Amino acid sequence: MSFIDKATLFNQNGYVVEKNLLSKIEVDYLREESVALVKLFSEKHDVDVTLECARNKITGAEETQLLQCEDIHFYSASYCRLMVDERMVSLATKVMGTNNIKLHGTKVFIKPKNNGSPVPLHQDYVDFPYKNHSLISAIIFLEDVIDSSSKVCLIPCSHKQGPLEHSPDGGWHLPFDEYSLDSATPIHVQAGDVMLIDCLTVHGSGFNRSSQAQTFILLQLCNPDDEPDDERPYPRGYGMMIQGINTNI
């Protein structure tokens, strides 16, 4: 499928998956880097970012874990190379409809084997609001997701509803009685795949109860002509251009 077709799918459905963007060698290397980075951070910081609303509202999530490191491109050049990789940039350019792409932030997540936390349904917009909703999330999967219940799940076309009202109680999330994880569509992905998600697309993920950890990288990108819609602090490294120019001097 061409990038143009993928742009059409993204606009229609609020997400698109590019299969096998990275090779097995690249995936294995990035996974090793990511595991090492999380371990390094965990020696000095609490890296478990499981939402309190998940612990309080989702049965079985009382002691699960979701491990995270932010601003990862400051700690390994591998992530810098990934951000400006021609394959990644070409895909993002076509989907976003602009030759100018600005970095919002970078993260790596690990859902430990047998004990990975669920992520309640939400829109990324609520955490990172932009006036023109240009933000997209690129999720790079570094392991096959073999447990169907733990896959990233979403509600196709939900981005067309615009921003939805979220609850801030225990971490931003949509009302559990209206937006349960069971109501969303699981997306099949494998190591090396990349999923691009619109900031207004409703999505989340279930428990990881499989015998394999789930490791993935998150790149958040936006149009430099778009402006944040509130005064929250930017992630470290916000504003770096990974493609084109920023004329807002």
Q: Please work out, in degrees rounded to the nearest 5, the angle formed at the alpha carbon of residue 14 by the alpha carbons of 12 and 15.
A: 110
pLDDT on residue 225: 96
Kindly state the tokens that stand for 71: 């601003």
- What digits encode the pLDDT tens for the residues 149-160? 778 999 999 999
Q: What is the pLDDT of residue 99?
A: 96
Answer whether residue 1 shows pLDDT above 60: no
Pairing relation of β-strands 185-186 and 67-70? unpaired
210, 114 Cβ separation under 8 angstroms: yes
The answer to whether 49 and 68 are in contact (CB under 8 A) is yes
pLDDT at res. 4: 61
Mean pLDDT across the chain = 94
20: region left, alpha or beta (phi > 0 left; psi from -120 to 50 alpha): left
DSSP-derived letter for residue 138 is E
pTM of the model: 0.95
Q: How far is CA 165 from CA 38, 169, 175, 200, 202, in A?
A: 33, 12, 9, 11, 12
- The CATH code belonging to domain 3-243 is 2.60.120.620
- Residue 2's pLDDT is 60
Residue 11's H or E segment, with its range, is helix 3-13
